[in-house]
């Protein structure tokens, strides 16, 4: 299977919460990231979590990490139409190394 896997699509209504899931295979990953990419644009770092953390919250974003299951999730509270984009999960084995990306989850928010 792929090193980093994500579901490809998620559709939610405005105001609902979105949960984007990611699984990875390499347990030696020390940092895990979530990036957002809007059409034709580069990647925007949303948040990251260090592997010794279980949860990190930053305003509307909550990242949960289950290291035992190698599962990472991103919850977006009160999803807005402006949140429509592709969300990439990525991992790094250690600081200073290149990131390995999943294929991205396309989030579609309807009003």
Partner 1 sequence: GAVVSQHPSRVICKSGTSVKIECRSLDFQATTMFWYRQFPKQSLMLMATSNEGSKATYEQGVEKDKFLINHASLTLSTLTVTSAHPEDSSFYICSAEDLFKSHEQYFGPGTRLTVT
Place of tokens 């940092």: 31
Scanning residues 22 to 41, which ones bind partner 1 (CB under 8 A)? 30-31, 33, 35, 40-41
- Classify residue 9 as exposed, middle or buried by CB count within 10 Å of its CB (0-12, 13-18, 19+): exposed
Q: Is 44 in the site for partner 1 (CB under 8 A)?
A: yes
Q: In this chain, which of 12, 61, 64, 99 binds partner 1, going by CB under 8 A?
A: 99
Q: Are the beta carbons of 57 and 73 closer than 8 angstroms?
A: no
Contacts with partner 1 by CB under 8 A lie at 30-31, 33, 35, 40-45, 48, 50, 88, 92, 95-96, 98-104
């Amino acid at each position: 299977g792929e090193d980093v896997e994500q579901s490809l699509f998620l559709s939610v209504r405005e105001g609902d919460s979105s949960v984007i899931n990611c699984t990875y295979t390499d347990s030696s990953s020390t940092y895990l990231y979530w990036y957002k990419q809007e059409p034709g644009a580069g990647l925007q770092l949303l948040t990251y979590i260090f592997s010794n953390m279980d949860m990190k919250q930053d305003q509307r974003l909550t990242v949960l990490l289950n290291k035992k299951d190698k599962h990472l999730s991103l919850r977006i509270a009160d999803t807005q139409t402006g949140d429509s984009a592709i969300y990439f999960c990525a991992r790094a084995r250690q600081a200073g190394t290149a990131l390995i990306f999943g294929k991205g989850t396309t989030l579609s928010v309807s009003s």
